[in-house]
Amino acid sequence: MRIVDFSSRELKKIPELQLPSQVTNTEARLYLYNDKNKWDKKKNILKIFYDNRTFDFKPYINEELLQSDINMNVFHEERFTYTKPYIIAELLLHKDEINIDELVMPTGFVSIDKKVSGYIMPFIESSINMSLLLNNPNVALKEKLKLLKKIYEILSKIEKVKALEGRFYLGDIHESNFIIDVLEQKVKAVDMDSCYINDSAVPVSRFLFNNFNLDYLQHKYKMTEDDRVIPSHNSQVLCFLYMLLNALSGEKSYKWSIEEHYLYLNCLEKMGMNKEVIEAFNTMYDSSPKLDFDIDLLNAIDTSKNYSLQYRK
């Protein structure tokens, strides 16, 4: 398990990565780091968390950790699974089983002044954040649906990792956590530290946290005591459907009340939207225990029409 150590003084000399204003980042600082390894000249991102809680490394100790003098904070009253480093460690431990090219996976840990504070991941230099496309009214709906299909394919691949079946999901699914790798012409998922793996901490989800529409649907979207939706097949599909609704309506559909949700579905019906697509949106808040979506239904959406609420007003 690779660890790169910096002093606070050294970190100040590393340039910060500036994100577009439309892309939110509230939990960490991002730095551009050129690896000194002469065999690996690829650029990396250092993600240094603002909240540096301690972490139990006992399950992951290897020769490199034993030989290092980095403070691993082995004993702590809080369960080590409720920390970001646990998620990173699990991703590193299972990287061969996961083996999904479309996931921008961590490659090691970063310690600052001998304290584990974040992680390293590849820097995709030529990339476009998906929020700049999916939330852009000037991008054609046909192109948005193609991109959404790629996102759904990533979610499906994650659920098919046999070694982690039922124990590995993306936890904070929204437009900003996907990019297009321009050189590889691939859609990729970033922010992997917010995934859910092997009973890790339940992440705060932009779409699902404080989403009061889900309060009475805990048979469908299970929650923790602090109202975080536990990532699952259902939650992944739900977040995908929110992104689809966002793309169609031009609004933040996850903030709608139940009444607003169904009013928009009535609007779609009047515009001749495919009935099976509308039914999929209906099942987001119904009493059925499982939520599914047939990705081929995207082909049934008439992209010559404008479904935007702004257009309808």
| CATH code, domain carrying 183 | 1.10.510.10
Same domain, 37 and 143: no
Quick one: average pLDDT of 105-123? 88
3-state helix, strand, coil in the chain (%, to 5): 35, 15, 45
Same domain, 118 and 131: no
Rounded to whole angstroms, how far apart are CA atoms 23 and 178?
11
Same domain, 209 and 278: yes
Rounded to whole angstroms, how far apart are CA atoms 107 and 193?
12
Same domain, 264 and 194: yes
Element (H, E) at 148: helix 141-159
Q: Please check whether residue 145 is in contact with residue 298, taking contact to mean a CB–CB distance below 8 angstroms.
A: yes
Give residue 4's pLDDT: 85
Quick one: average pLDDT of 52-80? 44
C-beta atoms surrounding 301 within 10 Å: 19
pLDDT band of 80, cuts 50, 70, 90 = very low
Give residue 37's pLDDT: 62
| Closest to 149 (Cα-Cα) out of 98, 187, 99 | 187
Task: For residue 215, give every residue at least 6 positions away whose Cβ sits within 8 Å of its Cβ, in sequence order, or none.
Answer: 227
pLDDT band of 288, cuts 50, 70, 90 = very high
Is a pLDDT exceeding 70 seen at residue 296?
yes
Rounded to whole angstroms, how far apart are CA atoms 135 and 221?
26
pLDDT band of 75, cuts 50, 70, 90 = very low
pLDDT band of 313, cuts 50, 70, 90 = very low
Same domain, 71 and 137: no
Quick one: average pLDDT of 255-280? 96
Quick one: average pLDDT of 33-37? 76
Same domain, 13 and 81: yes
Give residue 165's pLDDT: 95
Same domain, 139 and 278: yes
Quick one: average pLDDT of 113-122? 87
Same domain, 227 and 273: yes
Q: How many DSSP H helices and E strands does the chain contain?
A: 10, 10
Same domain, 28 and 140: no
Same domain, 161 and 284: yes
SS3 309: helix
Give residue 219's pLDDT: 95
Quick one: average pLDDT of 3-20? 86
Is a pLDDT exceeding 50 seen at residue 66?
no
Is a pLDDT exceeding 80 seen at residue 73?
no
Give residue 36's pLDDT: 67
Rounded to whole angstroms, how far apart are CA atoms 204 and 209?
6
Q: Which domain holds residue 43?
A: 3-122
Which carries the bigger pLDDT value, residue 27 or residue 172? 172
Is a pLDDT exceeding 60 seen at residue 161?
yes
pLDDT band of 39, cuts 50, 70, 90 = low
Same domain, 181 and 69: no
Report pTM: 0.87
Same domain, 260 and 236: yes
Quick one: average pLDDT of 236-250? 98
- Least confident among 2-11, 211-220, 292-301: 2-11
Give residue 179's pLDDT: 97
pLDDT band of 60, cuts 50, 70, 90 = very low
SS3 158: helix
Domains held by the chain: number: 2
